[in-house]
Chains A and B, each alone.
Chain A
Amino acid sequence: MNINKMLVLAAAAASVTASAQVTLNDKNAYAYDLGYGVEISDFFTTAAVTTISGEELQQTSATNLAEALYGRLPALTALSQGGFAGDENKGASFNIRGYHTLSDKSILILVDGYERPIDRLSVEEVESVTVLKDAAATALLGHEGVNGAILVKTKRGSIGRAHVTVDYSHKFQFSPEFADMVDGYTYARALNRARANDGLSAAYTDGELNLFKDGSAPFFYPNVNWRDLTFSNRGEEDHAYVSVYGGTDKVRYYTNIDFVDSRGALKDAGQADYNAQLRRSKANIRTNLDFSITGSTEMSVNLFGMFQETKRPSDISADGLISTLYTLPASAFPYKTSTGIWGGNETYGAVNPAARIQESGFYKTHQRQLWVDGKLTQKLDFWVKGLSVFISAGYANSSIMAENSSKSFEYGYERYTGTIGDKNNVALATFGNKQNDLTFANWVDSQWWTASGNIGVNWKHSFTADDHFNAAIIYNNKGENRDGRGNTYYRQNIMGVFHYDYLSRFMGDLVLAGNGSNRSYPSKWAFSPVLSLGWIYADNSESLLNYGKLRASGAIQHTDYMPTYGMWLPTWDASHGYVIIGNNYSPTWGASLGAFPTTDFSQETSKSVNLGTDLRLLNSLDFTVDGFYQRRSHIMLSANNENSSVVGIQSSYNDVGEVESYGFEVSAKYAKHITPDLNVNAGVTLAWSSNRVLKYIGTPTYPLSDPVGHRVNEAWGLQSAGFFKDQADIDGSCRQEFSTVSVGDVKYRDLNGDKVINQFDVTSLNGGTDIPELNYAFNLGVEYKGFGVNAWFQGTGNYYKYLPTEIWGGMANGGNLSVDYYNNCYDMAGDNALYPRLTTQTNNNNNQNSDIWYKKVHFLKMRNCELYYKLPSTLLSKLWLTSAKVFVQGENLVSFDNVDAMDAEVFSTAYPMFKGVNVGVTLTF
C-alpha cells in the first residue's frame, strides 16, 4: 500500500535526522498551507516550492525575518539596501526569479495565508518559510501572486506539557565599509586644480595650502574628519524572547514575546535632557491558539501585536547622516569656530553633522501593528464522508505616529579680513537661528489596514483503494487601504481546486480561478486556469534513489495592475497651476481633462510553464531542479511614446508590452547522521534568470535605445572611449552634443556613424540589470558531541550599480571628492584614468549615462556563521532543562566583491551594513 510506503519513508527520514539540527524536508508535511483547507503533502505536490524551517533561520542573528532570508531560498533574491534597523522600507528587498514585466515587479508576502509585512516579524515565531515559485504554487493567490510569493508559517502549539524557551543575545556591530574621502589639504589642492581646469583663478595660495597641510590654522583652514567626529563605527543590539507552547486535546497554544533593542553609531548623541542616538526598540507579542471544539470542529485564532519606537536626531536621519559624511568636504568649515559656534557657511548651509546630531532635538516614531486572524473548520462526515467546510477571516492594521522635538542652531565661520594670519582682523559670519527650546509637533505618519475573509467547502474522496480525490470551492474576499488616494484595493476570488492522485505515482492538480478586482476594467473579472501534473517515478526507501518526482505546470494568470488609478475615467481635474485674479489677489487653480481615458485593453496576462524534478538519494541528499518560462503580455504602456504633443492631451495607455522571462534553479541539500555523535549537513543552490522585452510601444526615437530584445531595467548609456588628451584630440574627434568639452572630458564612441555624439549613440551597456541574474548560495554545518558550526554564503553575479554621485561626483558644485575618484581621475592618472578631469562645475558631457558610471558588480558573502555548544542531556536534567545552547553568531564577516572602494551590495550613501557578532544563550525548560 502506497500510503504505508510513504509513512515508512517519512519515518526513515525522521530517524536519520532526528537529532541533527538540519533535516531534510519531511515529505509527509504539507508542502504549503494557504489556510484554504487545501492540504497537499510535499510528497504529492506538483508545485515548485521550497521550504526552509524556522530552526534553520535561527542560525542567523537577524532580528527580523526579512533580514534572515539573504541567500536562503532558491529563486528568492534577497539583497540588503542598508539603513538603520528602525527605518521603514529599508533592509532586505526581494524578487523571485528576476523580473517578469515592465510594470509592477513586487512579490506577494503572506503570513499564515494573509498578506502581511515581514520586516517586523521576529525569526523565533516562524515555523517555516516557503517560496512559491510557479503558477501551481500561486494559483490560489489571485492577482497579487503573479510575480511569485513567500509564505510564512508561524509556530503552533502541540499536545503536551508547557515547553518554555528563553533566549537572550547581544550583538556587537562593527566595521561597516565606507568609501574614503580625501583630507582637507588634498581637497584644497584638488580644488585649485579643478578651478584651473575650468579656467578660474585659484581658490587658495600656496601659503594657504600649507595652512591646510600643517593644520596650524584649523579655524580658518580646517581639515575635519567628519566621520570620525560623528560616527563611531559601532552599533549594538540586544535581543530576548520567551516562548511557550503546549496544549491539551482541547486547546493547543503557542505564545511568544520577543524584544529587540538596537542602538546606532552616532557619537555624542546624548544631551543633558535627551539622547538623540539612533535607536529602535520593538516588542512582538504573538499568541496562536488551536481549539478542538468537538471531534469534528476545529478552530484556530492567531493574534500578533507589534510595538516599535524609533528615535533619531530631529534634523538628520541615519541615511541622511551618511550622505552628509560623504558630501561634506574636510576643508568645508571647522567643526566649531574659535568662539564655539557650530561651523558652517553659505555654500553648505546648516549641514554640520555634529551640530545636527547634538543640537537639533530628536525625532521619534511609534509604530503599532495588530494582526488578527481566525479559522473555523467543520467536518461534515456525518452527512457526506470527507466533506468539510471552513470559514476564516483576517484583519491587520498599522499606524506610525511621528513626534518631533526640534530646534535650530546657529552656525558660522571666521575669516581673515586683513592679511592671512592677522588675528586682529578676523570677521565672524553667522547664519541660522539659535533656538534654546525644543518645539514639539506630532502627526500620523502613515497607516494602513487590510482585511480578508474566506469561505470554502472541501471534499476528500477515494474512488478506489489507490487514489485520492480532493475538491474544494473557495470564495475569498479582501480589502486593503494605504495612505493616499487611489490606494484602496478590493478583490474577490472564486476558485475551484481539484487534486487527484493515483497509485501514489500520478498526480494532477487543476485550479480554475475567477479573480475579481476593483482595479480592473471594463470586466471586473479574469479567469485564470492552472494545471499541474506530477509523476513519481521512484519511491523506495531501500534503494539508491529513494524518491523521484517529475513536475510540470502551466497556467494563464492575470494582474490587476494599473499605471494610473482610474485610468478609464475621463477625469476633468488636471490642474496646471494657479492664476492670480481679482483685486483681493487670490490664487485660483484651474481644471482640465487630464488624459484620454484608457478603455480598450486587456488585463496584464501571464502565461507560464514550469518543469521540475525532485530526487532523494541515499536518504540523505535532496536534489531539485526547476526550469521556467513565462510570457507576460498586455503590459500597459503610455501611448505618449507614439503621439505628438500637438494633440494637447496626455495619451491613454496601450496594453501592448510583452516580456518573456526564463531561468532555472538547481538545489541540493545533504543531511546525515554519520555517527551517533556526528551530524553533517550541506546545501547548495544556484539560480539563474533572465528576461527579454518582446514588444514595446511606439517606434523608438533613438534606434539604438530600442528596449525590444533587451532585458527589463538594463543599463543604457554611451560607450566611453577614454578621455580627451589635448585640443588636437578634441578637434579631431566627433562633436559631442552635451556641453563644451575640454581636455580630460569623456570621449564617447560614435555608434551610429553620423560623426556626432548625441542621444542617438545611447545603447545598452550590456552590464546586466539592476538585480542579479545569477544567484547562488551554499552552506555547511557540522555537529559533534554538542559542538556545532554552521556557515551560510550568498553570492550574486551579473548586475550593475550606478556610482553614487555623492561619492563619485568629482567635486562639482561644492561636492566632495573620494580618494578613489581623485586617484583615478584624468588629472592624476592620465592615460590610465577611470574618471574624467576634476571640475567645480556641472559637466553635462561627463554626466551622461555611460559605462564610466555604471559598474558591473558581483559579490560573495559569508552572510552568517554560527558556533554553538549544546549542553549534554545528563547535565540538563539536573538543571530542569530539556535543552541549553550557547552560541556565537557572525554576520557579514567575510565578503569578496569586485569593488575596492566600498561594499558592492549596499552601493549607496545609505546607513551602511555592519559586520556583527552575536553572543547568546537559549534555554528550554
Chain B
Amino acid sequence: MKTDMNKIKYALLGMAAVAITGCADLDYNEGSSRDEDWTYNSPINGVKNLVYDVYAQMPSEFKDDLYGMGAMLASATDEAEFALSYSPIHNYYNGGWTPSNPFDNTWTVAYRAITQVHMYLERINKIDLSEYEYDPDYQTMVQQFEIFPYELRFLRAYFYFELVRAYGDVPLVTTTLTNAQANSVARTPAEEVFRFIVDECDAVAQYLPVSYNDVPGQEIGRATRGAALALKARALLYRASPLFNKDNNRELWKEAAAAGKFIIDNAAVWGYSLSEYANLWGHDTFTNPEFIFVLGTQASNQFEKYNYPVGVENGNSGNCPTQSLVDAYEYRADGKTFKEKHPGNINVTTENPYDGLDPRFALTVVKNGDVWPSNTTQQLVMETYRGGFNGAPKYGATPTGYYLKKFVDGSCVTAANNPTTTRHNWIVMRLAEVYLNYAEAMYNYYGDADAAGEFGMSANEAINVLRNRPDIMMPEFHGNDGFEERYMRERMVELAFEGHRFWDVRRWKKGAEFFNGVNVADLRLENGDVILSRVTKNRQWAEKYNLYPIPQSELQKNGNLTQNPNW
C-alpha cells in the first residue's frame, strides 16, 4: 500500500512536471517577422518588393476591375454602354454618384501609393547591400537599385496626376504624415499640383533609362525616361485645358506643345515607333515599340468572358460600343462621318453603311453579321438585332446593337470545353497619344491648325502622321475648318476604350454636349432586312461631374478639406 502510494506520488509529480514544462507558450507568434529592419536589409524580397508594390497599384483596367463586373471607364462615356445593370459604372450617370458613394478608389489607392513612396525615400539610408557584396549579382543589384528612387518619384507624380485630374485641388503631401497631420491638411490648388508633377518628371527623367534593355536584368516594364516625359506632356496638356486653365493662359498650351514635341523628336532615338492598330493588343504586345508605359497582366480569359457577346458561351456582353462612337468613324473615301452619311434610319442589309469606314472601326466594334469571336470553336454569325441570337430581349444582350472587339482577343476560347487564356496589356501611355496631345496644344496655342510655329510641326501635320499610318490611310487633315470637332473625333476613335474620353470631355468642359445621353442602335428585322434606328439613352450630366466629389467620410475626418463645387 505504502509503495503504491509512492508510485502514485511519483507518477503525479512526473505528470505535474510534464504539465508545467510543456506549458502553453504565451509568446507564441504567427505574425510575420518582416519588420522594417528585415525589409530594408533584404534587397530582393524587401526593398525591391517595396518598389514593385507601388507599381502594382497603378490602375489597370485589365487587372483591377476598377468599375465592377468588368466595366471599363469607357462605359461611363459616350463610347460604350455597359450591358449588365448591376455594375456600379452606371452610377456615373444615373444620379447615384454622390460624396457618400464617391468612387473613392483613386483617392485611397493614390494616397497609399504616394505614402509608400515617401516612406521609401525617407528610409533610403537604411538600405544596406553590403552583405551581398560578394554575390555574383551584386553589380546588377547596385545598378538596378540606383534607379529606384527616380522611378518612385515618377510613380508619385503619376499618382498625383491621377488625383488632380479627378479631384482638382488635392492635398499635395511630400513627406509621410502622422494621422493628426493627415487629418488637417488642406487642398493645394490644382496648378501647384500640376507644377509639382511637371517638375518631378523633369527632375527624374535624366536619371531614368531610355530602355531597360541596356540595364542589367532587362526589367522591361519599369519607368523609363520616355514615360516621365510623356507624363509631363500629358500633365501640361491637362493644365492648359479649359477645366484647369481658368484664366485661359495661352502660354500653357505652348508649354504642353514643347513637351510633346520633345518626345516626338526623340522617339526614334529612344526606340519608339507607331505600330499597327491591330497590334495594340494581343498576347505578345507587351514590348510593342509604340508603348511608352504599359501594365501587363497574367494570361487570362476574364476580359473575353466579360466582353464576348451573349450567346457565346460564358460571354457577358460587357462594354458595348455605342452608335455615338460608330457615328464618329469617317469613310476613307471622303472623310465624311457615318452620321453625316446616314443621319436617319438605315437599311443595313441594302445600304451596307459600314463598307469603306475607317479601318479602326472594324478593329474596335463587332457589328451585326460579323463572324465573332475569331476562334473556330465559338465563332458565330452575330445576330444583334431584336430577337436575334445575340440581341435583345435576351437577358444581358447588347443594349447598343454592337459588341466590343478592341482589346478583346478573339482567339481566346471561353467555353467550358478546353478554354484558353491570353495576356492583356493595359496601355498607360503610347506614342499616338503624344501626337494627339501635341496637335491639341499646337492648335490651341496658335489658333491655326496649319501653323508649324517654332516647333516645326503643325497640328494637322501631327494628326496626319497618325492618319497616314499604312494600316489606317485616312484622308489627311487640312485647314482650320471644323478642326476642333475633327480633332475630338480623331482622338475618340484612336484612343477608344483606352480610358481617355472620360477625362478628355471633362477637361474640355464638353460634358453637356457629349455625355447628356448616348445614341444606341435599335436593330429590327423588317421583311428580312435589318433596319437600324438611333435611340437616345438619357444620361444625367451636371457641371459638377467635371470633378469628383471628395468622399464624405474624408470631409468628416478632416475639417480643413473642402468639397468640390456643387457636390
B116 part of interface (Cβ distance < 8 Å): yes
Residues of A near B310 (CB, < 8 A) are: 346-347
Q: Return the CB mask of A710-745 against B: 1 if under 8 Å, else 0.
A: 000000000000000000000000011111100000
A408 part of interface (Cβ distance < 8 Å): yes
CB pair B90 A490 closer than 8 Å: no
A485 to B94 CA separation, bound complex (whole angstroms): 43
Contact of B287 among A293, A583, A646 (CB under 8 A): A583
Measured CB to CB, the closest approach of chain A to B164, in angstroms, equals 14
CB pair A740 B50 closer than 8 Å: no
Nearest A residue (CB) for B97: A737
Nearest B residue (CB) for A296: B5
Residues of B near A431 (CB, < 8 A) are: 313, 415-416
CB pair A738 B298 closer than 8 Å: no
Of A149-157, A590-598, A655-663, the stretch lying at the interface with chain B is: A590-598
Q: Please report the total number of B residues contacting A with Cβ < 8 Å.
A: 116
CB pair B108 A645 closer than 8 Å: yes
Q: Return the CB mask of A170-183 against B: 1 if under 8 Å, else 0.
A: 00000000000000
A651 part of interface (Cβ distance < 8 Å): yes
A874 to B292 CA separation, bound complex (whole angstroms): 99
CB pair A579 B55 closer than 8 Å: yes
CB pair A582 B218 closer than 8 Å: yes
CB pair A585 B423 closer than 8 Å: yes
Q: Work out how many contacts link A and B, with CB atoms closer than 8 A.
A: 308
Residues of B near A823 (CB, < 8 A) are: none
Contact A647:B25 (CB < 8 A) given known A583-B220, A591-B46: no
A464 to B551 CA separation, bound complex (whole angstroms): 73
CB pair A581 B222 closer than 8 Å: yes
Residues of A near B558 (CB, < 8 A) are: 644, 646
A427 to B387 CA separation, bound complex (whole angstroms): 14
A828 part of interface (Cβ distance < 8 Å): no
Q: Return the CB mask of A356-389 against B: 1 if under 8 Å, else 0.
A: 0000000000000000000010100000000001
Contact of B30 among A376, A486, A596 (CB under 8 A): A486
CB pair B12 A842 closer than 8 Å: no
A492 to B22 CA separation, bound complex (whole angstroms): 11
Interface residues of B in 46-99 (CB under 8 A from A): 46, 48-58, 63-64, 84-86, 90-91, 94-96, 98
A455 to B13 CA separation, bound complex (whole angstroms): 10
CB pair A813 B30 closer than 8 Å: no
Contact A478:B24 (CB < 8 A) given known A566-B29, A576-B112, A580-B296: yes
Measured CB to CB, the closest approach of chain A to B439, in angstroms, equals 31
B333 part of interface (Cβ distance < 8 Å): no
Nearest A residue (CB) for B396: A347
Contact of B31 among A517, A569, A583 (CB under 8 A): A569
A503 part of interface (Cβ distance < 8 Å): no
Interface residues of B in 257-301 (CB under 8 A from A): 286-287, 295-298
CB pair A844 B94 closer than 8 Å: yes
A270 part of interface (Cβ distance < 8 Å): no
Interface residues of B in 205-254 (CB under 8 A from A): 217-222
B43 part of interface (Cβ distance < 8 Å): no
A350 part of interface (Cβ distance < 8 Å): yes
Q: Please report the total number of A residues contacting B with Cβ < 8 Å.
A: 99
Of B170-178, B334-342, B502-510, the stretch lying at the interface with chain A is: B170-178
A648 part of interface (Cβ distance < 8 Å): yes
Nearest B residue (CB) for A571: B32
Measured CB to CB, the closest approach of chain A to B78, in angstroms, equals 18
CB pair B416 A200 closer than 8 Å: no
A593 to B39 CA separation, bound complex (whole angstroms): 10
A145 to B178 CA separation, bound complex (whole angstroms): 38
A570 part of interface (Cβ distance < 8 Å): yes
Measured CB to CB, the closest approach of chain A to B63, in angstroms, equals 7
Which of B64, B222, B395, B423 has most chain A Cβ within 10 Å? Answer: B395
CB pair A647 B417 closer than 8 Å: no
CB pair A524 B26 closer than 8 Å: yes
Contact A737:B96 (CB < 8 A) given known A577-B64, A588-B49: yes
CB pair B98 A582 closer than 8 Å: no
B130 part of interface (Cβ distance < 8 Å): no
Of B179-187, B368-376, B470-478, the stretch lying at the interface with chain A is: B179-187
CB pair B34 A590 closer than 8 Å: no
CB pair B182 A646 closer than 8 Å: yes
Give 13 new A-B contacts, CB below 8 A, not counting A293-B8, A432-B416, A648-B113: A293-B4, A376-B12, A453-B19, A477-B23, A477-B24, A518-B28, A572-B50, A575-B53, A580-B296, A591-B46, A644-B182, A648-B116, A701-B556
Ranked nearest first, the 3 interchain pairs of A and B with the lowest CB-CB distance are A648-B115, A590-B53, A566-B31
* Chain B positions near chain A (C-beta within 8 angstroms): 1, 4-5, 8-9, 11-12, 15-16, 18-20, 22-32, 34-36, 38-39, 45-46, 48-58, 63-64, 84-86, 90-91, 94-96, 98, 100-101, 104, 107-109, 111-116, 118-119, 171, 173, 176-179, 181-183, 185, 217-222, 286-287, 295-298, 310-315, 386, 389, 392-396, 415-418, 423, 540, 551-558, 561
14 contacts between A and B (CB under 8 A): A200-B392, A378-B12, A432-B313, A433-B418, A490-B24, A576-B53, A580-B298, A588-B48, A644-B185, A645-B108, A648-B118, A702-B552, A759-B101, A844-B94
